[in-house]
Amino acid sequence: MIDNDIDWFANWDGATNMWDRGAEPVNTHIAFLGGRMAGDRYIAPKTGLVSGGIGGIGGYDSETNTARFMLYHCSGPNVNIEEPVQVTIENIGRISNSKVKLRTYVIDDGNANFWPLWWADQTARGLTDADYGWSKYSNHPMDVLQKPEDRQFFMDNLERYKQAAELKYTETEIEVEGGKITLTPALRSNGVVFYEIF
C-alpha cells in the first residue's frame, strides 16, 4: 500500500464494525498501528524483505521527533517458528539525549490475539464446520454460530477473549551509541512488532 500510494482499505468486518460485540481481531490492531504512521516520512529499509517472509516499514514524524517501525513475519498457515531479527537504526542525530524511549507493541499468537484461546475453547466444546453459518474462521464467531447455546457460550467467555485481545505496549529506555540503536526482536510466525522511538 505504501509503495503504491494507497491511502486506505477496509475488509468486510472492519467496514461494518462486526466486532463491536466481541473482541478485536488482530487485523484491527495492525490497522490502528499502521494508522499511527499516517503522515510520517517513509523510511525505506536498506535490505528490504529477507528470507522467511520477514520485512518491515518505517516512518519519521519530524513534528514530534518520533520514529515508527513495523516489522512482520509472514510465514504462512500452520507454521510455528520464531526468527531472531536485528534492526539497526542509523542517523539518530536529531535526538540530543544519549537515551531514547522505546515503546513496543507485539501482535502474535500470544499477544493481542483472542483467536488461539477461542480456537481451544471451540475445539474443547466439539464445534465442527456444521455449527457455523458460513465459516468457522470468521473474526466474529457470534455472527456465524448457528445454535443459540453456542452463541451464549461465546458471550459467557467474552471478557476472557477481550482480555486476550487487548493491545498493550511496554516502554523502556535504550542507549544511543554513535547515532545508532539496534533492536533484536524475535518475530513469531505471522507476528508483528511495532516500535515507536522518541
State the CATH number of the domain containing residue 131: 2.60.40.1500
Instruction: Give me the chain's average pLDDT, please.
Output: 86
* 3 domain-assigned: no
* 44 domain-assigned: yes
pTM over 0.85: yes
* 6 domain-assigned: no
The two beta strands, 54-61 and 186-188, are unpaired
* 57 domain-assigned: yes
pLDDT surpasses 70 at 94: no
Q: What is the pLDDT of residue 186?
A: 92
Domain extent, residue 125, equals 12-197
Number of separate domains in the chain: 1
User: Do 40 and 61 meet the contact criterion of CB atoms below 8 Å apart?
Assistant: yes
Q: What is the pLDDT of residue 51?
A: 58
pLDDT surpasses 80 at 6: no
Percentage with pLDDT > 70 across the chain: 85
Q: What is the pLDDT of residues 69-89, one digit of tens each?
A: 999 998 877 788 898 999 998
11: its cell numbers: 475488509
* 5 domain-assigned: no
Range in 68-72, 108-112, 123-127, 136-140 with the lowest mean pLDDT:
136-140
Q: What is the pLDDT of residue 192?
A: 97
pLDDT band of residue 96 (cuts 50, 70, 90) is: low
pLDDT band of residue 140 (cuts 50, 70, 90) is: confident
* 2 domain-assigned: no
DSSP string computed for 145-184? B-SHHHHHHHHHTHHHHHHHH---EEEEEEE-BTTBEEE-
Residue 175's alpha-carbon distances to 55, 90, 103, 105, 162, in angstroms, are: 24, 13, 14, 19, 35
Q: What is the pLDDT of residues 36-57, one digit of tens each?
A: 998 899 887 776 555 578 888 9
Question: How is residue 108 annotated by DSSP?
Answer: B
